Amino acid sequence: MSAQGDDPHGDQPLETAGAPLDAARAAVVLVHGRGATARGMLGLADELAVDPEAEGIALLAPQAQRGTWYPQSFLADLDANEPWLSSALAKVGDAIQTAVDTGVDRERTMLVGFSQGACLSSEFLARNARRYGGLGVLSGGLIGPEGTPRDYDGSLDGTPIFLGCSDRDPHVPAERVSETTEVFEELGGAVDERIYEGMGHTVNQDELAAVSEMVADLTE
């Protein structure tokens, strides 16, 4: 058991912005990267070509304990990242459920993550495959070492998924992005994978445009 118990992220806050939840037509759950904050991740909305409040889109951002969802690399053995990983997956699920409980369908709820948050968002969707509003993966991929069995159940039923990453990302091998695409396609996702030459570990305008379009589609 860790110093924070078996649920390290359980008492962490869920930050919100955009449209009030009780009036929202759609929701976007934003998952921050290692060393970042939920409040900072909400700032990503300022980079999108969508006005969440005007469009009736609620933004929800869960906060990780000490800014880190799990302590080791996403390529490490799964057990090496427990109990933080299970707690983090539950935290993402709680954020989605918060939107659902206030009347927003999962089909109008989208996940967007960057870096460690992108890996966590990918793993959550694969483990809880069903139709969602979308998934935006910015520099990330499914969690686990090479050779991890990807025996996920369920169907994404056409969920739109964007995977953007550099071919020289120091943290995310392009091969893992390709593997993630294959898994999501096998689960029935509609995947748009874009690998950018020499971009590094960051987000570019093409990715922001792609995610903006997906967010805008939530309210159509």
3-state secondary structure of 24: coil
Report helix, strand or coil for 49.
coil
* DSSP per residue, 113-176: EETHHHHHHHHHHHHTBS--SEEEEES----SSTT------B--TT-EEEEEEETT-SSS-HHH
**C-alpha span between 40 and 147 (Å, rounded):** 34
For the stretch 181-194, pLDDT in tens is: 999 999 999 999 99
| Reported confidence tier of residue 4, pLDDT bands at 50, 70, 90 | low
pTM above 0.85, yes or no: yes
Which residues contact residue 182 at a Cβ distance below 8 angstroms, ignoring those fewer than 6 apart?
Answer: none
The predicted pLDDT at position 2 comes to 47
Q: Would you say residue 31 has pLDDT above 80?
A: yes
Q: Tell me the pLDDT tens digit for each residue of 150-207.
A: 999 999 999 999 999 999 999 999 999 999 999 999 999 999 999 999 899 999 999 9
